[in-house]
Amino acid sequence: MNECSAPNASKRAQIIDAAVAEFQERGFAAGSMDRISARAQVSKRTLYKYFESKENLFRSIVLELSSRFSEVHEMRYHKGRDIREQLTELAWAEGRILMSPDVIAMSRMIISESLRNPDLAATAQGKLDKTSIFVAILKQAHDDGQLLISDPEQAGKEFIGLIKARAFWPMLFTGDVLSQEEMADTIESSVRMMLSRYGLPATPE
Q: What is the pLDDT of residues 141-198, one digit of tens each?
A: 999 999 999 999 999 999 999 999 999 999 888 889 999 999 999 999 999 999 999 9
- CATH tag for 69-198 (out of 2.40.170.20, 3.40.50.300, 1.10.357.10, 1.10.3720.10): 1.10.357.10
- What's the rounded Cα separation, in Å, for the pair 59 and 48? 14
182 Cβ contact list (under 8 Å, min separation 6): 166, 167
Dump pLDDT digits (tens) for 105-153: 878 877 777 777 767 666 666 667 789 999 999 999 999 999 999 999 9
Give the CATH number of domain 9-63. Answer: 1.10.10.60
57 Cβ contact list (under 8 Å, min separation 6): 15, 16, 19, 33, 36, 51
| Domain spans, the chain | 9-63, 69-198
